[in-house]
Amino acid sequence: MAKVAIVGAGPAGCSAGYHLAKSGHDVTLMDKQGFPRDKVCGDGISIESIQAISTMGIYPHDIQKLASEYAPIHHFFLGVSNQISHSEQTNLEAYCIPRAVFDQLLYEKAIDAGCRFLVQTVHKNNWHHHGLTDAFDTIIDARGVSAGEVNAIAIRAYWTVQRQDLPETALLEAQIHFDRSLGVNGYGWIFPVSTQHDLIKLNVGVGVWLDEYQELKINVIQLFKQFVGSNKIAQQILSKVVEQQSPKVFPLATAKKGNRVTDGKILKIGDAANLTDPLTGEGIANAILSGFHVAQAVNMSRTPEAIADNWQYLYESHFEADLRAGLRIKAFRKFSFMNYLLIWLMKQNPRIARQVSHAVAGVVPYNEVLASLKY
């Protein structure tokens, strides 16, 4: 049995804690905040994420039973703002859930599995100063984007709309709008996150990559307002809004090449390991799966050195190929016509539409999408 410290109690940390505690290890789960807590995010829980949390014993019927707010997602919409769009229905169900609600479910699972919880802040990488390197056999860094390499920034706001003022499809559809005003790879989104009642809550936001954001030379709040003011669908919804919260900014640590996820006895997972999808900014699935696989690395190894080697190997085996494929697709999109062409192909070819939509939903790996576009 190993003494394990997990620093960060988000999806990655709670997943690692759950699996390690279930395996009989002595696990201390730390976070700078107590629960319940809010997390600024897009709130999208992809199909892959829903599959991933089943490893923690959480299934769709549990979400519908335990979550105070949620929205089942059956359609994925991709569009170039005000020009062309395609909406694809999926048989498998995704969700949008406010992170305050979703993270609480995972936290409770980790505690029920046997994790001890401690409110403690660990600044930067000064593990020795906090006494962690001496007190624990293994330290798992799950502090999120603050410990990763930030390369994107996003902003989101919650809007509330009367159910009667939205078409029925809007209650079941996650929309992504490519928009050149947000940079080559920038996009806006409109997600329903609470659809059980007469008042519907929507998560509306934009995401931009830092290298492109610096060239835009405009404040990110203004970028959000610019998207909302120019996108016709966002404008239509905004005209019906009965309540809106102020937009909030949050950073993202998306995939990067040549990624090292170990540093001695420190094992990085989730956003701390830059495992966020480089195209959509979705990080939940890889966060949860990285917690599962890092627990495997601990379980199959006898020394800290072996644990580190095995976690790096499992990262490369299970994550790197798809993240690299996502980075290649992102590079293709530097040409201004690529987003338009992709959606046009989706409208013409049902197979491509299904492949691309399922890739956005996390069901089909990006390297399979690249292969399918050749035929």
Tens of pLDDT, residues 35-91: 888 888 899 999 999 999 999 999 988 888 888 999 999 999 999 999 999 999 988
What is the rounded CA–CA span in Å between residue 183 and residue 190?
18
pLDDT band at 333 (very low <50, low <70, confident <90, very high): confident
Tell the burial category of 260 from Cβ atoms under 10 Å away from its Cβ (0-12, 13-18, 19+).
exposed
Distance CA 73, CA 93 (A): 6
* Most confidently modeled range among 51-55, 254-258, 361-365: 51-55
How many whole angstroms separate alpha carbon 154 and alpha carbon 173? 20
pLDDT at 273 over 60: yes
| pLDDT confidence bin for 291, thresholds 50/70/90 | very high
Q: Residue 270 and residue 284: Cα distance in Å, rounded?
A: 8
Cα 189 from Cα 178, distance rounded (Å): 9
How many other CB atoms are there within 10 angstroms of residue 82's CB atom? 13
Distance from C-alpha of 25 to C-alpha of 2, rounded to nearest angstrom: 5
Distance in angstroms between the alpha carbons of the first and the last residue of the chain: 51
